[in-house]
Structure 1
Amino acid sequence: MNIEEHVKFINPASMPAGPGYSSVVEATNVTTIYISGQIALNPAGEIVGAGDLAAQTKQVFENIRHALEAASVDFRHVVKLTFFLTDISLMPVVRSIRDEYINLANPPASSAVEVRRLVRDELLIEVEAIAVRA
């Protein structure tokens, strides 16, 4: 799929510019793919990087990569990411790893939320993704 034919990443001059995300994403004539919140579990169900946000974030993005591949797409097709962190002040750590995966020229829309805790106490991050396919 030529993503550029179906998805427009928009950053209106009338809105404040965000670092590393698009303010608006318009997708037409596509199938929407919703990826459940991914946590730092490896294929054996073991937590990766207990206490290490960078290691957990890397595992989360690898899990998202596998989910995207299962739907026959990749990170170029991601139009929205939602981050849940137990410490939002560490978002720069997350962004540095996220930037290894996403299309930096047309980054997806994004939201980040600090939460008191996730499904397991050892987890520091969870990420949901929405992708599209023509």
Structure 2
Amino acid sequence: MSASTHLTHLPTPDKVAPATGYTHVVTGTGRLVAVSGQVAHDEHGRTVGAGDAEAQARQVFLNLRRCLAAAGAGFDDVVKLTYFVTDIADLPAVRAARDAFLDPSRLPASSAVQVAALFRPDLLLEVEALAVVPEDRTG
């Protein structure tokens, strides 16, 4: 993965505790791309990995990659990920899947929230993304 030159990662701002598994601040110039929350559905709307957080996370990140690509973006352009999980104990599995898609040395800003439920009971997580791409790149 090549580092995006239009983004700046600030992992530890002055007087802020170091981040573990994310970057505190990411800035960039370009065109904003907002990707709606993605869940572990395949292209036919079927749930992938029922009961398996890591399998579901792999499908979620595959879906995110496809959505980003449609806008001319990639994971190197992502400035923020928001995770919604039904069990916060699944975060290590979600991070393991994430690290297969993103450069662990240039992680985006992120938030993780445990929710009571998602829109279908077989879904364990949902992830949304914000990316910034150079103005001259299109999908």
Q: State the TM-score bracket (shorter-chain normalisation).
A: over 0.9
In the alignment, is residue 58 of structure 1 matched against residue 58 of structure 2?
yes
**Cα distance, 1:90 vs. partner?**
1.7
What's the secondary structure of 1:3's corresponding residue? coil
Q: Give the aligned partner of residue 43 of structure 2.
A: 43
Alignment of 1:1-134 (within 5 A): 3-4=4-5, 6-10=6-10, 11-28=12-29, 30-134=30-134
**What is the rounded CA distance, in whole Å, between the counterparts of 2:84 and 2:37 in structure 1?**
9
Partner letter of residue 72 of structure 2? Answer: S
Partner letter of residue 90 of structure 2? Answer: L
**What is the rounded CA distance, in whole Å, between the counterparts of 2:86 and 2:130 in structure 1?**
22
Normalised by the length of structure 2, the TM-score is 0.90
Percent of residue pairs identical: 45
What's the secondary structure of 2:105's corresponding residue? coil
**Cα distance, 1:129 vs. partner?**
0.4
Consecutive aligned runs of 4 or more in structure 1 exceeding 4 Å deviation: none
Partner letter of residue 28 of structure 2? Answer: A
What's the secondary structure of 1:58's corresponding residue? helix
**Cα distance, 1:3 vs. partner?**
2.2
What's the secondary structure of 1:105's corresponding residue? helix
Partner letter of residue 98 of structure 1? Answer: R
Q: Give the aligned partner of residue 137 of structure 2.
A: none
Structure 1 unaligned segments of length 5 or more: list them: none
**What is the rounded CA distance, in whole Å, between the counterparts of 2:50 and 2:123 in structure 1?**
7
Structure 2 unaligned segments of length 5 or more: list them: 135-139
What's the secondary structure of 1:132's corresponding residue? strand
**What is the rounded CA distance, in whole Å, between the counterparts of 2:32 and 2:57 in structure 1?**
24
Partner letter of residue 32 of structure 1? Answer: L
RMSD over aligned CA atoms reads: 1.4
Number of residues of Structure 1 aligned to a counterpart in Structure 2: 132
What's the secondary structure of 1:26's corresponding residue? strand
Cα deviation code 1:39-61 (max 9, x no counterpart): 01000110111111111101000
Partner letter of residue 25 of structure 2? Answer: V
Partner letter of residue 20 of structure 2? Answer: P
Partner letter of residue 35 of structure 2? Answer: I
